[in-house]
A = this chain, B = another copy of it.
Amino acid sequence: MSIKKYAVAIRDVIQQEMSRDENVFVMGEDIAGQGGIFGCTRGLLEEFGEERVRNTPISEACFIGAGVGASLTGMRPIIELMYMDFTYVAMDQILNQAAKIRYMYGGKATLPLVIRGQQGIGRGNAGTHSQSVEAFFTHIPGLKVAMPSTPADAAGLLRTAIRDNNPIMFFEHKALYASSGEVSDDPNFAIPFGKASVMREGTDATVIATSLMVSRALEAAEKLAEGSIDVEVIDPRTILPLDIETIVESVKKTGRALVVHEAHRTMGIGAEIAAEVTQRAFVYLDAPVARLGAKACTLPFSLVLENAVVPGVDDIIEGIRKICYK
**A interface residues, Cβ below 8 angstroms from B:** 61, 85-89, 91-92, 95-96, 99-100, 103-104, 126-128, 131, 135-136, 138-142, 240, 263-264, 266-272, 274-276, 278-279, 282, 285, 287-291, 296-298, 300
* B139 pairs with A263, CB closer than 8 A: yes
What would be 5 A-B contacts, judged by CB atoms less than 8 Å apart?
A131-B140, A266-B272, A271-B276, A274-B274, A278-B278
- A165 CA to B267 CA, complexed, in Å: 24
Q: How far is the CB of A270 from chain B (nearest CB, A)?
A: 7
Q: How far is the CB of A71 from chain B (nearest CB, A)?
A: 17
- A91 CA to B285 CA, complexed, in Å: 38
Residue of B nearest to A294 (CB): B141
On whether A271 and B267 interact (CB within 8 A), knowing A95-B88, A96-B88, A104-B127, the answer reads yes
Q: How far is the CB of A173 from chain B (nearest CB, A)?
A: 18
Q: How far is the CB of A262 from chain B (nearest CB, A)?
A: 13
Number of copies: 2
Q: Which residues of B contact A298 (CB under 8 A)?
A: 99-100, 103-104, 140-142
- A271 CA to B86 CA, complexed, in Å: 26
Q: Which residues of B contact A89 (CB under 8 A)?
A: 61, 91-92
- A275 CA to B265 CA, complexed, in Å: 11
- A92 CA to B126 CA, complexed, in Å: 15
Residue of B nearest to A290 (CB): B279
* A264 pairs with B141, CB closer than 8 A: yes
Q: Which residues of B contact A127 (CB under 8 A)?
A: 96, 100, 103-104
Residue of B nearest to A97 (CB): B128
Q: How far is the CB of A27 from chain B (nearest CB, A)?
A: 20
* A100 pairs with B128, CB closer than 8 A: yes
- A188 CA to B7 CA, complexed, in Å: 58
- A300 CA to B86 CA, complexed, in Å: 29
Residue of B nearest to A272 (CB): B271
* B135 pairs with A267, CB closer than 8 A: yes
Q: How far is the CB of A291 from chain B (nearest CB, A)?
A: 6
Q: Which residues of B contact A279 (CB under 8 A)?
A: 288-291
Find A96's partner among B85, B272, B296 (CB 8 Å cutoff): B85
* A92 pairs with B88, CB closer than 8 A: yes
- A276 CA to B271 CA, complexed, in Å: 8
- A89 CA to B90 CA, complexed, in Å: 7
Find A289's partner among B86, B88, B275 (CB 8 Å cutoff): B275
Q: How far is the CB of A62 from chain B (nearest CB, A)?
A: 12
Q: How far is the CB of A241 from chain B (nearest CB, A)?
A: 10
* A297 pairs with B103, CB closer than 8 A: yes
Q: Which residues of B contact A270 (CB under 8 A)?
A: 275
On whether A138 and B92 interact (CB within 8 A), knowing A100-B298, A282-B288, A288-B279, the answer reads no
- A276 CA to B278 CA, complexed, in Å: 11
Q: How far is the CB of A204 from chain B (nearest CB, A)?
A: 18
Residue of B nearest to A267 (CB): B139
